[in-house]
Structure 1
């Protein structure tokens, strides 16, 4: 499979809710083709209320317009579960490049004292009830959509629709509210986010402006602009490993950030202690396992420790190291 796509495919997923198994399978087959041939797709027909997006955008604009001193009251380094404000320069990806953005990270909001796994617990919220309400409502709705897509991807792989359900009891999926500020002096090749693959199983993304690019099998960058009424979905490291490369985690980046842009990626994953290794359905003598056995949450934790400055002490002490991802990978 060459994967030399020139445009990002679109899949209407309304049929995933049909009582007719044939309708559900038709959608799943389309999801599977996109996941195999591009690793990136637009999903339409998802049924989410657009008010969820407009409310979150308004809350984000209000929050990021504050002085830095106010935003740092919710600095991520003050949290117990990797949530809160991420200033520009906090994230340093391999190669030492600093992305031109700021963000607010939100996880599954659990009660204080719930320490079932690293980086899980109560979110650190800003002193803005409107922001908390908008972000929590969006997180809940997109979580439900992610669960539907897990079912669709399972069918696409020839597995039972509920194949992932046992691993979705308390997943540490993360929502990032990202702001790319207006920069009239941005160079044409200046990055907003450097080339990388996503750590988790898949990502659901809404963005307000162009800038996202996807690398195809020729090593060319393909534009992936916002499409009204659709989310961008891309395959992550964990689903690539689970399927032994049947689905591909495609490298992507955000280019020149001259235009102000907001982006809301939701990184859908399985429970922290989920063991990820190539599924037997995709392993044979002709196609041996290409990926190591790992713990889903440990992979996420290792990548996070390697990236965030406030975790540098953990980086020096931890035995966890990233397994793969975070590179411009030609598929």
Structure 2
């Protein structure tokens, strides 16, 4: 059975050409790769998970204090069964929190990137959550450098396009499933909106990627972080890097009675980045697929409406 590969990103410094070739091949085939050797300390990941679990364990009325009506879920808390996968009839079986980038409030992006809110009931949430945000943001830049080289762009091509990116850290809680024959799934089949997604702690079964007409399970091993392509990068690269459909299935039997936690980091470009197909990704075999450029912010708004967050 085919398997999404795990690659050690330290090889980018020691064995660059081979690493870039293998990484690019993984993304061209699966839209997914597992990245090990990233250097994010286990204690930082565990500490963040502990803080997130403590928040989700709070009473519902306390959590709802941090829900921001009309905010599109951009910051703070989004309650259970709100987000719905595009074209799905049923809401996802999850609740989540959004941490965004800390930017000066006089930034030109302040109107589209609101300030963070932090739960007073969990004192460690702020430092642990934003520490993990920054670590994954830095790792994402390293992955993008390798992806740039694979499609014959300068190594730092993406650096100034994501340095004020509207990126989101999303701690998710999938509560135990107590009903029988529930029509909803934990996360319906979908593609991500952003440039790349970094999923830390995908050690529990459930994540599956659609490949060659069937569903391929992905569980990470050791310290590996699952990194996949989102629709914005697919559009920019003219589908050289595919944004692959994936889902989180409901476990069977006793496992369904267990909660599931995961923490994806959605790495977004800066809001004013124009998503126009890169000339280097247009070939006779892969003609230009998108004629109309769109800014990252406009594209994000379109998609948030589709998944019923705004």
Partner of 2:159: 165
Aligned to 1:320: none
Displacement of 1:88 in angstroms is 1.0
- TM-score, normalising length from structure 2? 0.91
Instruction: Give me the whole-angstrom Cα distance separating, in 1, the residues matched to 2:248 and 2:73.
Output: 27
Give the deviation of 1:119 after TM superposition: 3.2
SS in 2 for 1:109: coil
* Contact 1:75–1:86 (Cα < 8 Å) also in 2: yes
The CA distance in 2 between the partners of 1:121 and 1:231, in whole Å, is 28
Q: Which residue of 2 aligns with 1:51?
A: 43
TM-score, normalization: structure 1?
0.85
Compute the displacement of 1:30 (Å). 1.2
Summarize deviations over 1:58-99 as a string: whole Å, max 9, x none.
001110001000001111327598201111122133333210
Aligned to 1:28: 20
Contact 1:113 1:121 in 2 (8 A): no
Matches of 2:73 and 2:271 in 1, distance apart? 13
Structure 1 consecutive aligned stretches of length 4 or more whose deviation exceeds 3 Å: 78-81, 111-115, 184-190
How far does residue 187 in structure 1 lie from its aligned partner after superposition?
A: 3.9
| 1:11 paired to 2:7 | yes
Which residue number corresponds to residue 129 of structure 1?
123
Cα separation, 2, equivalents of 1:251 and 1:209 = 19
1:82-141 per-position Cα deviation (integer Å, ceiling 9, x unaligned): 201111122133333210011001111224454526530311221133111110100011
Question: 2:75 touches 2:114 (CA, 8 Å); kept in 1?
Answer: no
Kindly indicate whether the alpha-carbon contact (under 8 Å) linking 1:79 and 1:123 is maintained by their aligned counterparts in 2: no
Question: Which residue of 1 is the match for residue 263 of structure 2?
Answer: 264
Q: Which runs of 5+ in 2 are unaligned?
A: none
| CA-to-aligned-CA distance 1:286-318 (integer Å, 9 cap, x gap) | 432012422112111221133245x3xxxxxxx
Q: Distance in 2 between matches of 1:122 and 1:188?
A: 37
- What SS class does the counterpart of residue 150 from structure 1 fall into? helix
* Worse overlay, 289-298 or 231-240: 289-298
Q: 1:231 pairs with 208, 225, 229, which one?
A: 225
In structure 1, how many angstroms separate the alpha carbons of the residues matched to 2:230 and 2:285? 24
Structure 1 pair 80/286, CA: closer, same or farther in 2 (3 Å)? closer
Aligned to 1:314: none
- How many residue pairs match? The answer is 301
206-215 or 191-200, which deviates more: 206-215
In structure 1, how many angstroms separate the alpha carbons of the residues matched to 2:287 and 2:195? 21
Residue 217 of structure 1, aligned match among 209, 212, 221: 212
Secondary structure of 1:129's counterpart equals coil
Matches within 5 A, 1:234-253: 234-253=228-247
Give the secondary-structure state (helix, strand or coil) at the position aligned to 2:124: helix
Residue 204 of structure 1 corresponds to 198
